[in-house]
Copies of this chain bind each other. A is one copy, B any other.
Amino acid sequence: MRKVVIVGVGMTKFGRRVEGLMQLLSEASLAAMDDAGIGDKPLDAVYVSNMAGGILNHQTALGSSLVDRLSLLPAAAETVENGPASGSSAIKNAYFSIASGAYDLVMVTGGEKMGDVPGFVATDAVATMSHPEAEYPLGITLPSLAAMFTKLYMERYGITSDQLAMVALKNHLNGLKNPYSHIRGDFILEGVLHCPEAIVNNPYIAEPLRLYDCCPVSDGAASVILCAEEKAKEFTTVPVTIAGFGQATDHQTVHEREDPTDLKAVTLAAKKALDMAKLTPKDIDVAELHDAFTILEIAQSEHVGFFKKGEGGKAVEAGLTQIGGKIPINPSGGLKSRGHPVGATGVAQVVELVWQLRGQAGERQVKNASKGFSLNFGGFGNNVIAFVLKKGA
């Protein structure tokens, strides 16, 4: 396999955007192309990652549309969809296209425009990735799956609501330092959980998960440009290498898994990515995990191996996952604060890691970060993709 290097990154501000899906994809793409100084050098291919453009925006074939809009013809183009892991799936395939020798310079742009429809329609659109017979027709949505998982995880490991809230508080604090973040509020634990107004300010979405335990519904796009190592110098002086990737699937429905608290696909995908990079969790300087719900950041931090099973909640309490802590998790603000435009998320995770490894993350910079890790969580953990990125080529 040829080595593959990231030579450009860009993203839009996440949040409620007036722009349409194609405009958001274009904005992120142009930012990445500008970052890489593409100029008039031809891109070989463009991968778009998007989950629900057909349902939410009544638009398909986004890849074809984007290459035309950006005057990148006759570059190859297609869309990759893998639920909330669409972004990482697209990056993986772009990576293979260069590693194989077929292409040299490839852009991956992920995006989702969720605000064109009411919130419950967006939640329903995301639920189309649930099991078509055993979940969706019964009204199961991702928040309800996460709530059931949280209850089991609390019972098994003694995770507390306060620990969950601390994940949200940390990520919102990080998000405050991220100009691309959707939700930028300065919250304190007492304000969201322990004051009389909390029941109004922070109501249950699906018990025991409250509003502040759930990521927002966001619009936005993110983009990365990948390049064969030998040509990377044409585009960047701060290359970041894809040193490892791993993907694994699990039973689509949580209730079919032998132990519903065991996220096997997370463990396996992370191990594959770290093994390929010849690293262990201890070597990682900064991580972007998939905190669509606060419980997921804790559970993933344990399954990846940053902490032992049952110790992720205590680690958050002890500040180990803050910027400056033992293993900073979601310095970007994560899905919780940066937002979760579904098809953009996996790409945005990699964008943040690139900024961190380049030392361009501003106020939220993790000092001396040279090895980054991302985890993109599809379905309810039924399709997980991890990347290990290393500073340098």
Interface positions of A (Cβ within 8 A of B)? 1-2, 20-22, 45, 51-55, 57-61, 63-65, 67-69, 72-83, 85-86, 89, 92-93, 96-97, 99-102, 125, 128-129, 131-132, 136, 247-252, 256, 264-265, 268, 378-379, 382-383
Please name all residues of chain B whose beta carbon is closer than 8 Å to the beta carbon of A101 when the two chains form the complex: 1, 99-100
Please name all residues of chain B whose beta carbon is closer than 8 Å to the beta carbon of A251 when the two chains form the complex: 68, 73
Task: Report whether B249 and A129 are in contact in the complex, using a CB–CB cutoff of 8 Å.
Answer: no
Please name all residues of chain B whose beta carbon is closer than 8 Å to the beta carbon of A53 when the two chains form the complex: 54
Please name all residues of chain B whose beta carbon is closer than 8 Å to the beta carbon of A83 when the two chains form the complex: 60-61, 64
With both beta carbons as reference points, the residue of chain B lying nearest to A71 in the complex is identified as B251
Task: Report whether B132 and A65 are in contact in the complex, using a CB–CB cutoff of 8 Å.
Answer: yes
Please name all residues of chain B whose beta carbon is closer than 8 Å to the beta carbon of A250 when the two chains form the complex: 68, 73-74
With both beta carbons as reference points, the residue of chain B lying nearest to A44 in the complex is identified as B247
Known: A61-B128, A100-B101. 19 other contacts (CB 8 A): A1-B100, A2-B100, A20-B132, A51-B60, A54-B54, A54-B128, A60-B83, A61-B129, A64-B379, A65-B132, A68-B250, A68-B252, A68-B382, A76-B249, A78-B82, A78-B85, A78-B89, A80-B80, A80-B93
Query: Cα distance A96–B97 when bound, in Å?
Result: 5
With both beta carbons as reference points, the residue of chain B lying nearest to A72 in the complex is identified as B249
Task: Report whether A77 and B383 are in contact in the complex, using a CB–CB cutoff of 8 Å.
Answer: yes
Please name all residues of chain B whose beta carbon is closer than 8 Å to the beta carbon of A75 when the two chains form the complex: 249
Please name all residues of chain B whose beta carbon is closer than 8 Å to the beta carbon of A72 when the two chains form the complex: 249
- Among A76, A102, A128, A251, chain B packs the most CB atoms within 10 A around the CB of A76
Please name all residues of chain B whose beta carbon is closer than 8 Å to the beta carbon of A73 when the two chains form the complex: 248-251
Q: Given A54-B54, A74-B265, A81-B60, A65–B252 Cβ distance below 8 Å?
A: yes
For the complex of A and B, the 4 pairs showing the least CB-CB separation, nearest first, are A61-B129, A100-B100, A61-B83, A99-B100
Task: Report whether B378 and A249 are in contact in the complex, using a CB–CB cutoff of 8 Å.
Answer: no
